[in-house]
Amino acid sequence: MSSQQNPHSHQAQFDSPRVPRRTPMACQFCRGRKLKCDGSRPSCANCNRRGYPCLYTPV
Ligand SMILES: [Zn+2]
Ligand SMILES: [Zn+2]
């Protein structure tokens, strides 16, 4: 009559998905057009060439 107690009974394991913390900062214009934004401020190259207002939306 020996109740076996498992020392490793309940280990709280949190499987957190590995999310890369790297967020490519693209302005709204480049995002909408799927352009490669260089992310320069206040206006990126794409917006600067076209004369569009470069808007960055913070996440
Ligand atoms: Zn851009
Ligand atoms: Zn832009």
Q: Is the pLDDT of residue 55 over 70?
A: yes
Q: Determine the pLDDT at residue 23.
A: 58
Spacing, Cα 10 to ligand 2 middle (Å): 51
Where exactly are the structural domains of the chain? 25-59
C-alpha pair distances (Å), 45 with each of 5, 7, 13, 17, 20? 65, 60, 46, 35, 26
Give per-residue pLDDT as tens, 11-41.
556 676 776 655 568 999 999 999 999 999 9
Q: Determine the pLDDT at residue 44.
A: 96
Q: Determine the pLDDT at residue 18.
A: 73
Spacing, Cα 18 to ligand 1 middle (Å): 27
CATH 3.40.50.720 fits 25-59, yes or no: no
Spacing, Cα 2 to ligand 2 middle (Å): 71
Q: Determine the pLDDT at residue 30.
A: 95
